[in-house]
Structure 1
Amino acid sequence: MELVPLAEKPQVSLLLDCDTGIDDALALVYLCSQPHVELVAVTSTPGNVDADQVARNNLALLELCGQPGIPVAVGARTPLRRPLVTTPETHGPQGIGYAELPDPCAAAQTRDAVELWVEAARARPGELTALLTAPLTNFARALRAEPRLPELLRGVVIMGGSYYHQGNTTPTAEWNTHVDPHAAAEVFAAFSGQPEERLPVVCALEMTERIEMHPEHLAVLAAEAGCLEPELVLPGQPEGRRSRASRELIRHLSDMLRFYFEFHSAHGQGYLAHVHDYFAACVAAGTARYGARTATVHVETEAARLMGTTFADFRGLWGEAPNARIVSENHPEEAFAELTRAVGSLARRVNQRPPG
C-alpha cells in the first residue's frame, strides 16, 4: 500500500469505536485533521476508563477539533463475560493524563452504539470502514445483531493482539484483547471464510510499539502549530505543571502525553509513548504504508494465565480458513511526519482559548 498525495486521497467514511485513552485521543484528533475522512459516528467502549467517561472524552475532543456534530454513542458498559478492568495508572483517572478538557456542550446519543452501527451499515452498504481501537465488546455485539456486517462494511481495522511479541498486560496478552477476549474471539470467528479483501487488518503490538513518540516529536508538532511558548513535556516537570503552549489543542495533547511518557518511563521503557491507536487510524484513513500477512487468529478464553493471548497460524497448519490480515511492516518516521504536519495544521485552524 503506497502513500497517496492528499489531493488524490479517496474519501474514507469511518465508524470509530474507542475507549479514550491517550492514544485513542491522539487518533481521534488526527482523524479530525483529515479532510478526506468522514467520521460517521464515534462509539464508546469501556476499557481504559468506563464507557460514560469515554463518551465525555470523545465529545470534548470533537468540540476542540471543530467537529461537534459527529454522533457519539455509548454501547456496552462491561465486557461480554468478565468484570471491567480500567487503567488509571496508564492513562490517568479520566483517561486523558494530566489534561483537563473543557466540559462538552453536547451529550451522547440516547441510542445504543450497536443500534447506531447497524443502522449506518445497512443504510450505506459497502461504504463504511470500522476502526476499532478498544476492546471488541461493541463490535461483537453489533455482529450478533447483524451477522451480515462483514459483507456490509467496506473494511475493518483493529488495534489489538500480539503475535510473536510479548504482551503489554500479561506476559503474552495485549490490553484490548485481554479486557474482553470473548468478544475478540467472536469477532475473528465472524470473519472466517470471508474473501481476503474483507478480512480485518490487525495492528498488533509488534507494529504499534514501533510507533514510539518522543518529546522531540511533540516539539515539532508545537512548531508546526505555530506555538509561541510550547513549554511541553520535558522529563522532571512537577506533576501539577500544565503546558502553557499558545495553541489550546497542543496544550491538551502535551498534558496527555506527558502522563503517558511518565508511565512508560516508570516501567523501564524510556521517556516515550507507544501511540498504538494513532497508527491504526492512519491505516484506516489510508495515510500509512504497511505490509500485511493473512492468518487464522485464535484468542485464548479458557486458560487463566493465557487469557486474551492471540495466536496466529500463518501457514494453514490448523486447516482453518483465514480470518485476519496481520500488519507485518510499517514506517514510523513517515507516521510522525504525517502526525506533526496534519495535527499541527488542525491546531492552527480550530478555535483557541488562551492558557488559563
Structure 2
Amino acid sequence: MPKKIIIDCDPGLDDAIAILLAAGNPDVEIVAVTTVAGNHTLDKVTLNARQVCTLAGLHDVPVAPGADRPLVRDRITAAEIHGESGMDGPAFITPAMEADPRHAVDLIVETVLTHPGEITLVPTAPLTNIALALRREPRIAALVEEVVLMGGSYTRGNVTPAAEFNVHADPEAAAIVFSADWPVTMVGLDLTAQAAATPELLSRIEALDTPVSRFVVDLLHHYNATVGKVHGTAATIHDACAVGRAIDPTLMEAVEAHVEVELRGTATYGMTVTDFRGHIGPPNTSVATELRTERLWDLLIRSLENIATTTRTST
C-alpha cells in the first residue's frame, strides 16, 4: 500500500517540485496539502499550491491554508528568491479546486486521528502548522508514523550564518517539533546542497517535453537566476529531498543525533544545534547526511512522466 503523506508547504519554487515528485510516485499517496506563510504570504502560497495540484491532477486532494504568521517572531519571506507571486517563472495555472474550508491545523489533526499510525508528515516550510497541531492535539505525536522535514543544518545556515530559512522563520515552532516524542528526520542544508539544479538535470526534464516538464523547466530557470543573483550559486531543490526520503529512506544516509533549536542567541537564533556525540541529550532526530543524487533525479523524472501520462489519459 502507498505511504500516506501530508505535505505541509509554502510554494515556493522547490515546494512545487516536491509536490510533483510525490504526485507522480506510486509509493506515496498525498492525502492532504497544507500551507503556511513562509516563502511568501499565506494567500499567495495557497494559490500556488492549488496551481501545482491542478497541474498534477490532484483535484480530490484537499488544499488547506493554515497559519499566516509565526508563533512569536515577526514574519519573514523569501520573495527575493521565489518572486512576487512566490512561484515566479511558469505561466499562471487556473486552479481547478478551491481552498479547503478547514484550517490546516484542524485537517492535520483530523487526518492523523482518522489514520492512526499511517500518516507521514512532510513539512517543507516553517513548522508553525505542525507545532500548532501538536498543541491542539498532543496525542498525534504517538499516532504519526514519522515526520520528515526539510529544514535546519548541522554546519551552517542560508539566511544567517547559523540558521536555515524554514527554522529561522519560526524557531519557536521548530523547537516544539524537535522536542516532541515522535520520529523526526531532518533533511537539512548539508544534505540538500547535494541536490543542485544542474544543466544535466534541466536537459533531462526538457527532453520530456510535456506540459508538466515545461512548467518545471520554466520554474528552474527562474530559480537558478534568482539564487545565482542572491547567493552566487546554482539553485538547490531542497524540498524534493524531504519527499524523496519519505518515498525511499535508502535515498540518503542518516545519522542519529540530538537536535535542539537555539531560541536565545543573538547571532544563532534559529540554529539547529546538532550533537552527534550525546553531550546535550540522547538522540531525538535522524539527521540526513549523504544523498544518492542520481537516484533522486531518476525518481523525479519518472514522476513527471507518470503525471504527464495520467493527466493526458484523464483528459
Shorter-normalised TM-score: what interval?
Answer: over 0.9
Question: Is 2:102 aligned against 1:111?
Answer: yes
How far apart are residue 268 of structure 1 and its match? 5.1
Of the candidates 321, 324, 334, which is equivalent to residue 282 of structure 2?
321
SS at match of 1:312: strand
Residue 265 to residue 14, structure 1, CA distance change in 2 (3 Å): same
Question: Is 2:50 aligned against 1:89?
Answer: no
Give 1 or 2: higher helix fraction. 2
* Cα shift readout 1:225-275 (whole Å, capped 9, x = no counterpart): 2x2xxxxxxxxxxxxxxxxxxx222222122111110122224544x3200
The residue correspondences of 1:8-19 to structure 2 (distance < 5 A) are 10-19=1-10
Query: 5+ residue gaps in structure 1?
Result: 1-9, 192-197, 228-246
- Distance in 1, matches of 2:31 and 2:230, equals 37
How far apart are residue 351 of structure 1 and its match? 4.2
- Distance in 2, matches of 1:189 and 1:74, equals 25
- Distance in 2, matches of 1:55 and 1:268, equals 26
Of the candidates 111, 117, 124, which is equivalent to residue 120 of structure 1?
111
How far apart are residue 200 of structure 1 and its match? 0.4
| Farther off after superposition, 177-186 or 253-262 | 253-262
**TM-score between the two structures when normalised by the length of structure 1:** 0.84
Of the candidates 259, 272, 292, which is equivalent to residue 297 of structure 1?
259
How far apart are residue 97 of structure 1 and its match? 2.1
- Distance in 2, matches of 1:155 and 1:289, equals 16
SS at match of 1:311: strand
Question: Counterpart in 1 of 2:215?
Answer: 252
**TM-score between the two structures when normalised by the length of structure 2:** 0.95
Question: Counterpart in 2 of 1:172?
Answer: 162
Question: Counterpart in 1 of 2:295?
Answer: 334
The residue correspondences of 1:261-276 to structure 2 (distance < 5 A) are 261-267=224-230, 269-270=232-233, 272-276=234-238
Q: Please tell me whether Structure 1 or Structure 2 has the larger radius of gyration of its CA atoms.
A: 1
Residue 91 to residue 80, structure 1, CA distance change in 2 (3 Å): same
Question: Counterpart in 1 of 2:67?
Answer: 76
How far apart are residue 175 of structure 1 and its match? 0.5
- Distance in 2, matches of 1:250 and 1:78, equals 33
SS at match of 1:350: helix
The residue correspondences of 1:174-323 to structure 2 (distance < 5 A) are 174-191=164-181, 198-223=182-207, 225=208, 227=209, 247-267=210-230, 269-270=232-233, 272-286=234-248, 288-318=250-280, 320-323=281-284
Contact 2:21 2:299 in 1 (8 A): no
AA aligned to 1:170 is T
- Distance in 2, matches of 1:18 and 1:81, equals 19
* Cα shift readout 1:102-151 (whole Å, capped 9, x = no counterpart): 22131111111111111111111001110010000000000001112221
- Distance in 2, matches of 1:115 and 1:323, equals 26
How many matched pairs? Answer: 313
| Identity among equivalent pairs (%) | 37
Contact 1:136 1:177 in 2 (8 A): yes
Contact 2:158 2:165 in 1 (8 A): yes
Query: 5+ residue gaps in structure 2?
Result: none
Contact 1:97 1:258 in 2 (8 A): no
- Distance in 1, matches of 2:225 and 2:30, equals 31
- Distance in 2, matches of 1:286 and 1:152, equals 21
